[in-house]
Amino acid sequence: MTKVLYFDLFSGVSGDMLLGALVDAGVEPQVILGAAAALGIGGYSIQFEPCQKGAIRATRAVVRTDEDAASPRDGASGPHLHHHHHHHQPSRCLHDVLHIIGESNLSQGVKDLASAVFRRLAEAEAAVHGSSPEEVHFHEVGAVDALIDIVGVSAGVVALGASSFFTSPFPVNPGTVRTDHGPVPLPAPATLELIKGYAVRPSPSERELVTPTGAALVTTVCAPNEVGGAGGGGGAQWRHPAGSWPAMTVSAVGYGAGTLDLPWPNVVRLVVGEVAALPPPPGLEAGEIMVAEVNLDDMNPQLYGPLFTRLLEAGALDVGVQPMYMKKGRPGQLLTVLLPPERAVAVIPLILAETTSLGVRTYLARRWMLQREQVEVKTAYGTVRVKVGRAVDGSIFNVAPEFEDVAKLATDRGVPVKEVQQAAQAAGRRALGLPE
């Protein structure tokens, strides 16, 4: 069975709404409290408490910082589950935030997902302000709020164990919101940047329903409409187009309360479900592979050769590039790396270290496979390894001589490569009892 997580955004989404919804859906509060504590930053408190939003009972998450403890974001009062840490907060840029996450003792899956969300958030803010992601400044209070929200939600999502993510359309509406730079139109420019390519629907409210943090969290794990599988981080991701409910058996529902009181219940709804794994086509084995992708338009072509070598040495199964046109009309390359999911910890950081990219998209893909074996055959030129692909019933689909063996023998014997290859192919088929 594959676990599915559906984000039902009928009243928008924010980081604290998602925190509440995850706890309401069954994630232990200690998972989120422990993840926040692992950052070692202090200066905040977290509460989870039941509340009523219209006709719906929900869970409210209250994240207070030392600076705003007197007026919490969502007006909650009275602790239910409460952790409080005092600490002065320095200002932080993207590098600082990623360093805090990277140096923590969070699991790698939580680190990967939270880092991907922060990169996405910084890229959106940079696009709006005409700067670079590295120059984006997370203001003191906002940095704490965002760290707790993003790391807490990442920990909750990973704890749920979902491997497939869907979202409803984002509600958008007229109005303005106050910022440090003065009033800006709704949706907030960074939010609108984050939801490019995603389905939206009009809402009658003139209040901010979708925050940048909420948008960054959802869009990191859920794919835009026109891209069926460009994933975020955090382990097992199959991202799907926004806009419709997935087919699934519902197993849990969580409601996370928002700050505002609206004419409708102001909650985000998380629906957890399961779908039965598809049976493989007759004769084939089912498997799972991680696909990592990066768009590159500023990388020296000389670096691709060493990159391929190091990725394969780190455990990648295959590496390839294909040309593409990117923003501003620049020609670029789509780097695609296939790898076993368990090698992500080694391969993903290597992609970032060896390329000019600031982020990597990952998603899991199903694959249907022949059973593989290798046999050695003797030819007039020497011994060659031959790869054999069999169906489950033993029938043979493919017989392929190992090219490195063929090329070496051809060089050693001073004969054309194709002659050795033909001889090895024939010898392999004879050895397997197949017609030549």
Choosing from 220, 245, 275, the residue where a domain stops is: 275
The answer to whether the beta carbons of residues 306 and 380 sit under 8 Å apart is no
pLDDT tens string 100-154: 999 999 998 899 999 999 999 999 988 888 888 777 766 544 578 889 999 999 9
pLDDT tens string 38-70: 999 888 899 999 999 999 999 999 988 876 544
* Domain that residue 185 falls in: 2-275
Mean pLDDT on 399-409 = 95
Q: How far lies 236's CA from each of 67, 95, 271, 385, in Å?
A: 37, 25, 18, 35
* Residues 89 and 192 reside in one and the same domain: yes
Question: Looking at the domain assignment, is residue 111 inside a domain?
Answer: yes
Question: Looking at the domain assignment, is residue 49 inside a domain?
Answer: yes
CB crowding 38-59: b at 16 or more within 10 Å, else e = bbebbbbbbbbbebebeeeebb
* Residues 83 and 154 reside in one and the same domain: yes
Residue 77: is its pLDDT beyond 50?
A: no
Phi and psi at residue 14, in whole multiples of 5°?
-140, 170
- The full DSSP string for 127-160 is HHHTS-GGG-EE-HHHHHHHHHHHHHHHHHHHHH
Q: How far lies 58's CA from each of 18, 77, 214, 255, 264, in Å?
A: 11, 15, 18, 5, 13
26 alpha carbon, distance to own chain's centre = 22
Give me the residues paired with residue 48 across strands. Answer: 61, 81
Mean pLDDT on 61-81 = 53
Q: What is the rounded CA–CA span in Å between residue 243 and residue 236?
A: 21
> Is residue 82 helix, strand or coil?
strand
Query: Would residue 270 be called left, alpha or beta, if left means φ above 0 and alpha means ψ between -120 and 50 degrees?
Result: beta
CATH number of the CATH domain containing 391: 3.10.20.300
* Residues 46 and 70 reside in one and the same domain: yes
Question: Looking at the domain assignment, is residue 162 inside a domain?
Answer: yes
The pLDDT value given to residue 129: 81
Unique residue bearing structure tokens 């990967």 = 112
* Residues 62 and 78 reside in one and the same domain: yes
Question: Looking at the domain assignment, is residue 384 inside a domain?
Answer: yes
SS (H, E, C) 10-46: ECEECHHHHHHHHHHCCCCHHHHHHHHHHCCCCCEEE
How many domains does the structure of the chain reveal?
A: 3
- pTM for the whole structure: 0.63
* Residues 84 and 228 reside in one and the same domain: yes
Question: Looking at the domain assignment, is residue 280 inside a domain?
Answer: no
Mean pLDDT on 400-411 = 95
* Residues 271 and 308 reside in one and the same domain: no
* Residues 162 and 259 reside in one and the same domain: yes
Mean pLDDT on 207-235 = 70
* Residues 270 and 332 reside in one and the same domain: no
* Residues 77 and 210 reside in one and the same domain: yes
Instruction: Name the amino acid, one letter, at 41.
Output: I
* Residues 364 and 311 reside in one and the same domain: yes
Q: How confident is the model at residue 80 (pLDDT cuts 50, 70, 90)?
A: very low
* Residues 362 and 401 reside in one and the same domain: no
DSSP β-ladder status, 92-93 and 137-138: antiparallel
Choosing from 217, 246, 275, the residue where a domain stops is: 275
* Residues 348 and 406 reside in one and the same domain: no
Choosing from 322, 354, 369, the residue where a domain stops is: 369
